[in-house]
Structure 1
């Protein structure tokens, strides 16, 4: 995996949305496996890895991820605290709003890019979501193994 190009994608997504906490997770053995995250003051990489290790996110137990596996498409949660699909892990990380983009290989979800607003709500517009999907497509080769 080209981590330098993945970091470029994160920078592009940050410029598009203004959201700084962006991460890529592979899906392995039915759960999220952290790969790379932007290092921010709000949520550093070590804390991110540590929380994932202590509280694994299993796809089958997560409403949003289960929905994405059935119907691969970008999913936005504008207000985590008031959306019944929100996972407990969102609260562990202090996420207020999140955009989850599926990484596909042969039309199967193999990972996700999460754009997480921490410390304030973010309204992910239809235009932001569409442009984020286009960016992900442009960087698709980064995720090929």
Structure 2
């Protein structure tokens, strides 16, 4: 999948949710590998640098375990008061998040994550459903990107 297609996906999710910070991570060797994100807010290079400096391991976060091991969509309105609040979330000033796994043949290859930085936000069931449908329409390219 070309980055331009990934950016189109991010734009579609942004128009549904109002989120400006959307990214794609792949899962490799039990940790997150950042692939790409929107250019708003946190700089892409800083985002990748934070992940390289302090790797995010799946087993260190109940949020990541839910997405990767349990293949769940995760929606958190108030990240700071969630049991899965981690140093990564704190350092990035993430207040709310939406994580949708990229699944094929019962395997999670990665996920699309939308975050609200600096302020809490809510997501309706219909917004989440639309995001899942859009991600599904890009699934083949996303799986290839995350392999």
Scaled by the length of structure 1, the TM-score of the pair is 0.94
Measure, in 1, the Cα distance between the counterparts of 2:66 and 2:45.
Answer: 29
Corresponding residue pairs, total: 144
- 1:96 is aligned to 95
CA positional deviation for 1:60 = 1.1
Q: Does 1:34 align with 2:40?
A: no
* Secondary structure of the corresponding residue to residue 32 of structure 2: strand
Q: Does 1:17 align with 2:23?
A: no
* Secondary structure of the corresponding residue to residue 50 of structure 1: helix
Gaps of 5+ in 2: none
CA contact (8 A) 1:63 1:87 kept: no
Measure, in 2, the Cα distance between the counterparts of 1:36 and 1:67.
Answer: 22
- 2:2 is aligned to 2
Please report the RMSD computed on the Cα atoms of aligned residues, expressed in angstroms: 1.1
Measure, in 2, the Cα distance between the counterparts of 1:89 and 1:12.
Answer: 26
Measure, in 1, the Cα distance between the counterparts of 2:58 and 2:70.
Answer: 13
Measure, in 1, the Cα distance between the counterparts of 2:108 and 2:86.
Answer: 19
> Displaced runs of 4+ in structure 1, greater than 3 A?
none
Scaled by the length of structure 2, the TM-score of the pair is 0.93
CA positional deviation for 1:46 = 1.3
C-alpha deviations, 1:33-59, integer Å up to 9, x for none?
01011011x211111011111111001
